[in-house]
Structure 1
């Protein structure tokens, strides 16, 4: 049951992320920053894709994904269509990995220490879902303020 709930949340928010990126009228605005807005929507999108492909794809799904976190925040002017493809590919990875997990595996210790202490896989997946939702809200505000 928890796995299906996680799948529902990840799919809902990743689909909403896709809608947010598609909704920019001015593609250049995706990469805009302003006085108190340090990260562009494009960089937050790249950060979310790197985060999910690392912690769900590579760690739990053995996809071989290699993260370059600094590029998530320094890359600029990637076309909107390319960002959408990255989101769609991430949706596939997340669903494939979650479909392969068992409820018992959710109770096991996540294979990497991320917050300086051990945690269960289930706990960390919940964290990843809330992390996605947090940045999704920032992207929504970014679009409404700067597009």
Structure 2
């Protein structure tokens, strides 16, 4: 129960680009700037995958990147969430059906939230993170936690 409290109060993000055009990457980085001030909610980038609570995935998942994505997810400790950012991370986007594309991030790891768009706006990325935390807080309250 203690690990749930930690993520509820200060979630740390790990950003993983599976091979995108960098449109979503730029928007994810914009979402963590002082303009949107995610640190007021405790949201910040983790220095290492071993400190991360939320894995933010951008880009289309290819056969090569699928193995790395799975390995990163397995290295995350305790309670962990995955947020797929952009159309490519959702289902492959414009690359869907290509010979080297596995599909969306959900084909490799469990995805807890999706941020639609090509690329999505930074405020929508932050909103998805906050809704994920709100949903987790509600689950804790329903389970009888504090």
TM bracket, shorter-chain basis: 0.3 to 0.5
Structure possessing the higher radius of gyration over alpha carbons: 1
More helix by share: 1
TM-score normalised over the length of structure 2: 0.33
TM-score normalised over the length of structure 1: 0.33
Structure showing greater relative contact order (alpha-carbon pairs closer than 8 Å, 6 or more residues apart): 1
